[in-house]
Structure 1
Amino acid sequence: MCNKDSTPDRIKPFYTTQEPDQEILLIEEEATLKQTLEDSDQLVECTGTVRILQKWSPMGLYFEFPDINTHDFNYGEVEIVSNSFTTTGQIYYVLDNHIAGHIKNDIDIGTDHDLQYVTFHIPNYPDLYGGQSYHDKIDTQTVRWSEVVLEAEGFRIALQPIRDYLGLSQVARSSENIAITGVGQISRIDGKPFKKEKIKPLLNGIRIFLSFSFTNWTAPILVVGSNEVTPKSCEIWQNHSVDADSYLNGWLSSNRGHYLSTAFPGFMKLWANENWREPLELAVHWLIETSRRSGGIEAAIAVGQIPLEMLSCLVFVDDGKILESGEFGKLNAANQIQLLLAHCGIPSEPPSQLKSLSKLSKHLKPTTGPKLITNVRNAIIHPNESNRLAMSKWKNQFSIELEKLYWETNQLLKWYITLILLNRMGYSGQYVNRLIPFPIARYEDVPWNNSIEKAKI
């Protein structure tokens, strides 16, 4: 426990949820609703009170005009114009002088004055340990909390759980709903003021970085810029996907949150590279989809190979110019992935922890993990007679349980994606090896560290 003088100031949220899935009223003011009717190109409009709401299931920004003449409006796209903002939306409810719908784009309100700091809110934040514990007294209970600090591009980003994190997060987890349980604050390391346009790319980078690290969609939302004149100089409201699950499934566990501080500068350096920005976001998207297995384990395996092939092409052709496009295209998927693993210092041998894959390897004689996963994936996505007979042989002659084989293939795909991204960030610390589940997260050094040490001997 640290002394009182070294305890960070608690970041005060501007928006809170007293219970999971509690909607938040962001603004209520007079506005004009406009719509061009598709059948006649006629413009209809009406003025009334608009309410902009943050809702959660599904998560997004919504609008409603609770008392407006609905006679001339249809379902479809509309424009909303007020003194504070102009935005577009999609009507999905028209009834009894009440119109409601969802907002289609970002809403940016307030001034463009210099800012001292920016506050954002984090749904289902997983209360990370940042290297030091602090304590709050809430009623009669002493609650431990910690702060994680990220630094890059001259900015400092502090992440904290909210004061009543414990009870709210437990209810959110048990109900599988969403609540604001974390808060963050951005400021310049040198203390100088900055414009809000400077932090928009940073906010998106934070979203992708946290989503990758947690392997759950995690976004900084309900952004508020503050300065010496007013605590709400400007606000940015955006539509983002956020997962209700706050359990960590990626390379990080909550008791080592300070590892984020080590990885973040390298991520932001990669994020600043135009060649990498879209592929990074796509790779994280496919990693999360592979982890969710929302379409079943077979679908997860089918999509899990996509980011590996994409990243291999990016490293060797688009970004690194190591191979010509035609030369790279002659390689099959397994060889493309194997080449990338070797380039990143990641072992391509089938991990011994994955028993079913190791057994299949002995029978089929593929010597690498990439060849195994492509064999399994191709058998799944091309269910022709030959592949059906092959899978029957794996099951009946080799005594391989296909469910276990599929689960291990999916784990290996996620392991490859995670390590490749960490390697490209220049990360050289420890990570959670989730090839097989453990009651307690097992940390180990990234494999390329071993390669570096061997090279020194």
Structure 2
Amino acid sequence: MEDPSYKEQFVPLFSLSEPNQSAVIAKDEVLIKDKNGNDLLSGNAEFRLDFLPKPQIHVYITNKKELNDSEKKGLYSLHDNILSGNLFELVLKNSGNQFEGFVINSDLFNHNGPSLTFTSSSEPIVGLGDEDTQMQYVIFHLFNFREICANNGRYCEDVRIEADNWVIEIKSLAKSESNFKKLKKEGGYGSTHIVCLQQIDSTFFSGKEAIEMLNMLQYFFSFANGAWCNPIYAVGFNSTGRVWESWSSPRGPSFSRSESWFDEHHSEQLENLFPGFMNHWVDEDWNDTIQKAIYWYLIANNSPIDAGIILTQTALERLSFEYAVLKRKLISADSFTRLKASDKFKLLFSSLELSIDISKDLPEFEKMAKAMKWDDATHGMSEIRNSLVHPNPKNKGRFKSVYYDTWKLGQWYLELSLLKLCGYSETYCNRLNPGWISQVEIVPWKK
């Protein structure tokens, strides 16, 4: 049974104005320590989500109090550590939580008092609570996610996905429409959705479980988006209010509509994929492979075409080994390593009921296939990849006309392979034959 109190918090949790504008996410008093645990300086801190020169959480610390002799000594030690490029420990007064950071800007001897700007050595920063903290639900934000519509193309307030006693509700922000217009025009980063994560039966879950679910959702939303889309500013609640906070900045590229299997006018695609995706995510035998494949998929989807070709086929080889060798045991590991790349692809695609015929939707690739007498799509894909990794002077510049088709074909195979492995059997957006938004077709293995 759902806890109705979460509806009161299902609103933006920090002040969000226009896209690309800095936002304060927390204020606290912070103690700066050196790597040996010695106190150096304390001050009032403002944690901001900044977007220039790239998205990052910055900690702005000031101390306008008159320093005593001990504090002055710490200030000089802080100065020496900054010159040495050392990391520091930052301790939050209210929660006692701490994290490592380094100084990116400082003015220690200003007559108004010392000021510094830190950035964390890693994100997310857990600013409140810990792995054992118990909570009933988590609210977080998505930046640059797709402009999700209901099945008929109407804007929907909520999209609900469920799996394994977890329910996730995705809500478009009231300002999303104006944000999308600005993002499409100028690029950059803007908050587009808020999301609520909780158990279907409203049971409590821990900070550790929240972190694991947020990491999984990062990959799920990113796979749908075609670009990184990680949870931002996640806050855990129970009946007393906020008990856990995890701060992070957008990981993805500046706003653009990256190609993807997901069509934003068909939100049911998210609902249908999520159970199978989560089943594979929690499977220890599959978790690392799914992460690696999506990681390479996302980089390939937002990189120069030649690099994308190589990364896509790396992901396909990894999936082929995991599925054909380890899962289905169709061939031994030793035999697999002796296969040509094209045969590794054939092994995967035939097992997943994906055609290896050369598609007429790729005219340049089809023309080159006839000229080069390629047997099938896998033959051509591997030939193009080999020409990039092991170039032959005789073929210099010969295959440039088919780079885009080869990249597109590889990403299509990678999307469909991941969908099939997750047990998905519904509609998708076919990047080989793209139409208008909302034009989808059934996956090949269900035709």
* TM-score of Structure 1 vs Structure 2, range by shorter chain: 0.7 to 0.9
Q: 1:164 Cα deviation (Å)? A: 1.6
Show the counterpart of 2:167. Answer: 156
Say if 2:21 is the partner of 1:52.
no
Q: What amino acid sits opposite 2:145 in the alignment?
A: Y
Could you say if the C-alpha distance between residues 99 and 320 of structure 1 is closer, same or farther in structure 2, counting changes exceeding 3 Å? farther
How far, CA to CA, are the matches of 1:15 and 1:28 in structure 2?
12
Q: Is the 8 A contact 1:127 1:160 kept in 2?
A: no
Show the counterpart of 2:227. Answer: 216
Could you say if the C-alpha distance between residues 320 and 9 of structure 1 is closer, same or farther in structure 2, counting changes exceeding 3 Å? farther
Show the counterpart of 2:257. Answer: 247
How far, CA to CA, are the matches of 1:104 and 1:276 in structure 2?
29
Show the counterpart of 2:118. Answer: 101
1:82 to 86, 92, 96: 92
Deviations 1:330-359 (A, max 9, x none): 111010011100001110111111111111
How far, CA to CA, are the matches of 1:239 and 1:21 in structure 2?
12
TM-score w.r.t. length of structure 1:
0.85
Q: What amino acid sits opposite 1:279 in the alignment?
A: T
How far, CA to CA, are the matches of 2:273 and 2:313 in structure 1?
24
How far, CA to CA, are the matches of 2:19 and 2:249 in structure 1?
18
Say if 2:432 is the partner of 1:435.
yes
Deviations 1:248-297 (A, max 9, x none): 5211111101210000000000101122222212211221222213xx32
Q: What amino acid sits opposite 2:366 in the alignment?
A: S
Q: 1:78 Cα deviation (Å)? A: 0.9
SS of the equivalent of 1:190 reads: coil
Could you say if the C-alpha distance between residues 17 and 33 of structure 1 is closer, same or farther in structure 2, counting changes exceeding 3 Å? same
Deviations 1:292-321 (A, max 9, x none): 13xx32222222211011111111223443
Q: Is the 8 A contact 1:124 1:178 kept in 2?
A: yes
Q: Is the 8 A contact 1:128 1:147 kept in 2?
A: no
Q: Is the 8 A contact 1:35 1:43 kept in 2?
A: yes
Show the counterpart of 1:66. Answer: 62
2:321 to 313, 316, 325: 313
Deviations 1:217-247 (A, max 9, x none): 11111111112222x1221123551233252
Q: Is the 8 A contact 1:154 1:188 kept in 2?
A: yes
SS of the equivalent of 2:194 reads: strand
Show the counterpart of 1:238. Answer: 248
Say if 2:19 is the partner of 1:20.
yes
Structure 2 counterparts to residues 107-126 of structure 1, below 5 A: 107-111=125-129, 114-126=134-146
Q: Is the 8 A contact 2:33 2:40 kept in 1?
A: yes
Q: Is the 8 A contact 1:18 1:168 kept in 2?
A: no
Structure 1 unaligned residues grouped into runs of 5+: 1-7, 135-143, 395-401, 451-457
Q: What amino acid sits opposite 2:218 in the alignment?
A: R
Q: 1:100 Cα deviation (Å)? A: 1.4
Q: 1:9 Cα deviation (Å)? A: 8.4
Task: Tell me the number of residue pairs that the alignment of Structure 1 and Structure 2 aligns.
Answer: 416
Q: Is the 8 A contact 1:290 1:301 kept in 2?
A: yes
SS of the equivalent of 2:259 reads: coil
Structure 2 counterparts to residues 121-136 of structure 1, below 5 A: 121-131=141-151
Q: Is the 8 A contact 1:34 1:46 kept in 2?
A: yes
Report sequence identity in percent. 24
Q: What amino acid sits opposite 1:100 in the alignment?
A: T
Could you say if the C-alpha distance between residues 42 and 271 of structure 1 is closer, same or farther in structure 2, counting changes exceeding 3 Å? closer
How far, CA to CA, are the matches of 1:28 and 1:258 in structure 2?
39
Q: 1:322 Cα deviation (Å)? A: 3.1
Show the counterpart of 1:271. Answer: 281
- Aligned-residue Cα RMSD (Å) equals 2.3
